[in-house]
């Protein structure tokens, strides 16, 4: 078992124009290509009217992984199709064989239904929505918050949140290809009684690296939906080998009217450290620098 320690937390700085400048920004998915950091981030209109809160995803670039120049318009936005007419939420990105695979949640506010969608392309600014990858149906209702990774045994694993019995649960699916088809293998990680993650669980980013233990920084909460970030380690086949007893990241004390949430979105390696990107209060993005010791 490795030891993970938060060394530093920094807010992301986004240079952007209207309307993005006035939106809540959360779930930053950051990856690196050569000397450039790239990001897709979820943006939500801060309206009291739920029909005006439709999420979309914006693209940005950075030289240091902290200060990003954002595009003027979204690269993923609600369509006229029923599956994402009211929102494109929480994008996650894999670049494989020079092709981008972007998983996101399509939201239909009328049905209160989410579907796990896939968009692809050779440019993250120009994506084509392919299909519903995991549909909302029993026992995996409203699948969302996907994270895709390739395990050391060569199989692709898709972790995702789903709703069942009034709770958010963390499921897992496998495929030989990054675009599926996906074979769902049920619940990956279970809630623990009398713990910080005793009620809801959601997928977070997974880091698979030849020098590090395979780890996911997952999201968990108590019955009051106070979300924190923890970690779970896996072997080469994705079997759980260790799990954090305490949360790695806890949000600052919330003010009246704010949600008590820290939610992980992406990670990447920087030397002997891990950069973990997350958001708090469903509106503010951060980067945590995490040191790793062992195992």
**pLDDT digit string (tens) for 233-252?**
999 888 999 999 999 999 98
Under DSSP, is residue 198 helix (H, G, I), strand (E, B) or coil? coil
Return the closest-CA partner of residue 191 out of 170, 206, 172, 173. 170
Q: How many helices (H) and strands (E) does the chain have?
A: 0, 24
Q: Are strands 13-15 and 67-70 parallel, antiparallel or unpaired?
A: parallel
**pLDDT digit string (tens) for 84-93?**
999 999 999 9
Instruction: Round to whole Å and give the CA distance between 36 and 209.
Output: 20
Residue 10 and residue 278 in contact, taking contact as beta carbons nearer than 8 Å: no
**Count of structural domains, the chain:** 1
Total-model pTM: 0.95
In the predicted model, what is the mean pLDDT of the chain? 95
Q: Are strands 284-293 and 156-164 parallel, antiparallel or unpaired?
A: unpaired
Supply the range of the domain harboring residue 224. Answer: 3-293
Q: What is the model's pLDDT at position 139?
A: 96
Q: What CATH number does residue 86 fall under? A: 2.115.10.20
pLDDT band for position 53 (cuts 50, 70, 90): confident
**What's the longest Cα–Cα distance across the chain?**
50
Instruction: Round to whole Å and give the CA distance between 251 and 230.
Output: 12
Return the closest-CA partner of residue 259 out of 284, 277, 278. 284
Instruction: Round to whole Å and give the CA distance between 90 and 210.
Output: 27
């Amino acid at each position: 078992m490795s030891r993970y320690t938060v060394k530093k937390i920094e807010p992301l700085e986004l240079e952007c124009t209207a309307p993005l400048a006035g939106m809540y920004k959360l779930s930053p998915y950051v990856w690196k290509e050569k000397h450039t950091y790239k990001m897709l981030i979820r943006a939500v209109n801060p309206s009291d009217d739920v029909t005006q809160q439709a999420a979309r995803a914006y693209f940005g670039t950075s030289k240091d992984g902290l200060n990003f120049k954002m595009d003027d318009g979204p690269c993923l936005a609600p369509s006229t199709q029923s599956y994402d007419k009211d929102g494109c939420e929480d994008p996650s990105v894999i670049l494989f064989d020079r092709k981008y695979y972007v998983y996101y949640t399509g939201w239909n506010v009328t049905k209160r239904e989410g579907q796990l969608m896939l968009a692809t392309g050779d440019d993250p600014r120009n994506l084509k929505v392919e299909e519903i990858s995991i549909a909302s149906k029993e026992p995996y209702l409203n699948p969302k918050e996907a994270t895709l990774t390739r395990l050391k045994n060569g199989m692709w694993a898709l972790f995702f949140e789903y709703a069942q019995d009034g709770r958010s649960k963390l499921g897992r699916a496998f495929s030989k290809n990054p675009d599926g088809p996906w074979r769902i293998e049920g619940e990956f990680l279970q809630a623990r009684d009398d713990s910080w993650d005793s009620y809801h669980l959601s997928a977070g980013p997974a880091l698979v690296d030849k020098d590090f233990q395979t780890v996911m920084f997952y999201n968990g909460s108590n019955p009051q939906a106070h979300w924190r970030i923890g970690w779970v380690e896996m072997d080469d086949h994705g079997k759980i080998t260790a799990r954090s007893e305490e949360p790695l990241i806890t949000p600052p004390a919330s003010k009246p009217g704010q949600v008590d949430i820290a939610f992980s979105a992406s990670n990447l390696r920087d030397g002997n450290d891990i950069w973990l990107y997350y958001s708090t209060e469903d509106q503010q993005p951060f980067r945590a620098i995490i040191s790793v010791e062992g195992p």
